[in-house]
């Protein structure tokens, strides 16, 4: 990485907290078909792991951005946004740089 790239990465990192990994429970996706009530069986939940920079957190949602880009030296663009229901978060771990 060049010194310029290092500086840009530093400015992007300064806008966010450190990278985190959130382990969370996600219920299965809705099934759009009709079934008879006696045939219903609850689906198994799935444990997910999402990694990114925290961009929003409140009592309802924790949001991570997977990517960030500095445009024109000042405008910050983000993508790969994951919104996690706060009550579904099982564990949050801060990533450490080595």
pLDDT value for 12: 59
pLDDT digits (tens, 9 = 90+) for 27-67: 888 878 899 999 988 888 889 999 998 999 999 999 999 98
User: Dihedral, CA atoms, 92, 15, 3, 5, nearest 10 degrees?
Assistant: 80
Average pLDDT value for residue range 2-27: 72
Would 36 be classed as within a structural domain? no
* Number of domains within the chain: 1
Q: Is the pLDDT of residue 83 over 80?
A: yes
The predicted structure's pLDDT at residue 20 = 93
Q: Within its chain, how far is the Cα of 85 from the centroid?
A: 10
Q: Are 76 and 18 in contact (CB under 8 A)?
A: no
Provide the 10 A C-beta neighbour count for residue 64: 23
Q: Write the CATH number for 88.
A: 2.30.30
Among candidate residues 43, 46, 44, 42, the one with its CA nearest the CA of residue 23: 46
Domain-located, residue 39:
no
Which tokens sit at 46?
């799935």
Domain span at residue 20 reads 3-27+46-94
Residue 33 falls inside a structural domain: no
Token digits of residue 6: 């290092």
């Amino acid at each position: 990485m060049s010194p310029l790239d290092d500086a840009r990465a530093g400015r992007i990192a300064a806008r966010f907290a450190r990278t985190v990994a959130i382990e969370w429970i996600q219920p299965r996706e809705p099934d759009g078909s009709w079934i008879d009530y006696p045939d219903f069986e609850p689906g198994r939940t799935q444990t997910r792991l999402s990694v990114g920079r925290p961009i929003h957190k409140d009592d309802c949602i924790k949001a991570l951005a997977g990517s960030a880009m500095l445009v024109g030296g000042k405008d910050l663009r983000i993508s790969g946004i994951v919104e996690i229901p706060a009550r579904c978060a099982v564990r949050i771990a801060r990533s450490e740089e080595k």
